[in-house]
Structure 1
Amino acid sequence: MRSSGSGKSGGRGNYRGAGNNRDQKQGGQGGRPRKPRPEERRYDVGPGATQDGPKSGRGGSARGGAKGGPKQSRQGGRGRTAPGSSREYEARAEERNRERYAGKKEVKVPKTFPGAEQEGERLQKVLARAGYGSRRACEELIEQARVEVNGEIVLEQGKRVDPEKDEVKVDGLTVATQSYQFFSLNKPAGVVSTMEDPEGRQCLGDYVTNRETRLFHVGRLDTETEGVILLTNHGELAHRLTHPKYGVKKTYLAAIVGPIPRDLGKRLKDGIQLEDGYARADHFRVVEQTGKNYLVEVTLHEGRKHIVRRMLAEAGFPVEKLVRTSFGPITLGDQKSGWLRRLSNTEVGMLMQEVDL
């Protein structure tokens, strides 16, 4: 019984001990040298190192092993080494490309469309930049014979113009082809008609502080007068709109207290003597009457200071409230007090037509 039991256990023991005996045989004098296990292997084998460990120098892991580091070149006998970084590699590649293409003639790219060597811009591009729609929409304007350049109607596409010199019109109205800006402001009462005020009062410049280009006002309105005032960076247009030679008309609504005589309009049209000369109205009418309160409309082309207030006061009817409702073709409409709006292309063209631009 003991022998059979010991046989079983001996078998197990022999199985369990097989590995140990094998290791002993491999490590013995008569067998092959035992290969070190992974946990026994030495990875740092610098110069002068032994199997027990490194003596000096950095290990293989520092020379491009698992932890990184510059890799050694595998082209040992050719005398070339791989660059130590990607920047060095790119620098060498760039140097080779320069040597390869050195001395070659510059390749001239052909023109992509006929007439590209001409000066100026295409007409439809100029119209599109001026706000007349997309380039396709501007091409349709040209096809409809609605566009003229320097007095001649343009019928072909692709015509080139100089925005600085050529006069471009659409439907007879001049196009502002340059980077001009035109605005209409419904000036509230109490706002000073200047772009800056040294006394810190509210002024016109407060309404256009976010504009990249410098704007200036066309004419003036006194502080207590409300209504239309134009702002632009087109110097010649602003000059002509305020010059007496062109006689651009301005219309005002004035609140006065009556009763007023029937010949008040005739007196204003014939002329009222002021301290700086006669002042004449181009048009006068009564718009509304509520008891003794009258709302009258006065149109004139002069631009002297406080001229409407002085004319009515000289006639015996001081103005309680004054609003300018139009400046030439630009009307106030339903624009709210303090609102700034950009003029349309048609309005700009009408303004330019008013002063022969």
Structure 2
Amino acid sequence: MRSSGSGSGRNNGRGKPRGAGGGGSQSRGGSGGRDDRSRGGSGGRDDRSRGGSGGRDDRPQGGGGRDDRPKRPSKPRPEERRYDVGPGATHEGPKAGRGGAARGGAKGGPRQGQQRGGRTEPARSREYETRAEERNRDRYAGKPEIKLPKTFPGAEQEGERLQKVLARAGYGSRRACEELIEQARVEVNGEIVLEQGKRVDPENDEVKVDGLTVATQSYQFFSLNKPAGVVSTMEDNEGRQCLGDYVTNRETRLFHVGRLDTETEGVILLTNHGELAHRLTHPKYGVKKVYLAHIVGPIPRDLGKQLKDGIQLEDGYAKADHFRVVEQTGKNYLVEVTLHEGRKHIVRRMLAEAGFPVDKLVRVAFGPITLGDQKSGWLRRLSNTEVGMLMKEVDL
């Protein structure tokens, strides 16, 4: 038996219902979902009860749409979560547990110094900073400067740190220079330094490494393998090729140590250290120079003795410190002559006076600086060891 106010079966009667409804509604007074067959209520898809709700999705009577449901509380985004710590804390948000009672900085707790959303405080404007600087400048304007005594711990100490001076002189990084000090290889004014951070005056203090003086100032030292045909001057008014042509890109003005005649090749030193250049050429210090000369023989066995005993020249006697035959090919001889004098064309004149004109002359050493495999026309910077040996040669 079917009632006029009830909707029960899927096929409710043979005839059409009196009241119009939804697409599948067969009840008089109700409107609702697709299968809503109740007179007074509306419900879900399978709501077939007279009074309102009952099906699988228990929905209220007065509603209508599919989305009319109680919403679940959604989890907040990570940047919106709040972690209440301490008494009276609520446990909304993440699971109650370690996070709810965690201290700042602990796992699950708030990060120190961060605000909600991960935003930081706005930086002060440049205009604000400028006004603050002006206020401070006006506040202290006209007040005398307070000078701390040198004994005050915060006072600036004079001089430079020893390891910094050594690093600037080319002895490696500061750490490498500190290792030199730790190994007791550095001395200042004759005393070995064992402590780090010692301050020195680069202009007045004498610094040595392994017994060799360190060029603590901005000095430059070069060795040039002078080619034949180059004039031993830094400038030439006649436009001939000169030593200055090889150092045009140097910021500091350099000058040559001694001279080589135009046709002589080999080592010539360039530096801006005036005192060193003066001593290297002074007869008092007797810095030795070694030459290789090509002559045509045969030569007598006592040629070396003649040169060592002295050869009478126009400007006085000239003596060789050492003589030896390096190579012989038929009548061609390559001889080595060592002497400490520096008079003009002295080697050529001595051998010519002994009866053996020189075809080719090369200076292969100036004191401790040797030519080695340096190519003709090449300029090279002297190493720290070479500079120290030069200074030791002339008591610097």
What fraction of aligned residue pairs are identical, expressed as a percent? 88
Structure 2 equivalent of residue 316 of structure 1: 355
String of CA shifts for 1:105-144, please: whole Å, max 9, x gaps: 8899x99x96762100000000000000000000000000
Structure 2 equivalent of residue 349 of structure 1: 388
1:193 and 2:229 matched: no
1:277 to 295, 313, 316: 316
Task: Identify if the C-alpha distance between structure 1 residues 127 and 305 changes in structure 2 by more than 3 Å, giving closer, same or farther.
Answer: same
Q: 1:146, 1:116 → 2: CA distance?
A: 30
Structure 2 equivalent of residue 126 of structure 1: 165
Task: Identify if the C-alpha distance between structure 1 residues 229 and 104 changes in structure 2 by more than 3 Å, giving closer, same or farther.
Answer: closer
Q: 2:267, 2:129 → 1: CA distance?
A: 68
Superposed counterparts of 1:92-103, under 5 Å: 98=134, 102-103=138-139
TM-score after normalising by structure 1: 0.71
Task: Identify if the C-alpha distance between structure 1 residues 100 and 337 changes in structure 2 by more than 3 Å, giving closer, same or farther.
Answer: closer
> Which structure has the larger Rg?
2
Runs of 4+ in structure 1 off by over 2 angstroms are 89-108, 113-116
Aligned length: 268
Q: 2:315, 2:191 → 1: CA distance?
A: 46
Indicate the SS of the match to 1:309.
helix
Structure 1 equivalent of residue 34 of structure 2: none
Structure 1 equivalent of residue 287 of structure 2: 248
Q: 1:90, 1:146 → 2: CA distance?
A: 52
Q: 2:135, 2:210 → 1: CA distance?
A: 61
Indicate the SS of the match to 2:139.
coil
Indicate the SS of the match to 2:327.
strand
Unpaired segments ≥5 residues, structure 1: 1-88
Structure 1 equivalent of residue 176 of structure 2: 137
Q: 2:289, 2:126 → 1: CA distance?
A: 72
Q: 1:98 offset after TM fit, Å?
A: 3.8
Q: 2:133, 2:181 → 1: CA distance?
A: 50
Q: 1:260, 1:250 → 2: CA distance?
A: 23
Indicate the SS of the match to 2:308.
helix
Structure 2 equivalent of residue 39 of structure 1: none
Task: Identify if the C-alpha distance between structure 1 residues 248 and 104 changes in structure 2 by more than 3 Å, giving closer, same or farther.
Answer: closer
1:152 and 2:212 matched: no
Higher relative contact order (CA 8 A, sep 6+): 1
Structure 2 equivalent of residue 6 of structure 1: none
Q: 1:100, 1:129 → 2: CA distance?
A: 38
Q: 2:137, 2:343 → 1: CA distance?
A: 74
Q: 1:123, 1:242 → 2: CA distance?
A: 31
Q: 2:288, 2:273 → 1: CA distance?
A: 19
TM-score after normalising by structure 2: 0.64
Unpaired segments ≥5 residues, structure 2: 1-124
Q: 1:100, 1:240 → 2: CA distance?
A: 57
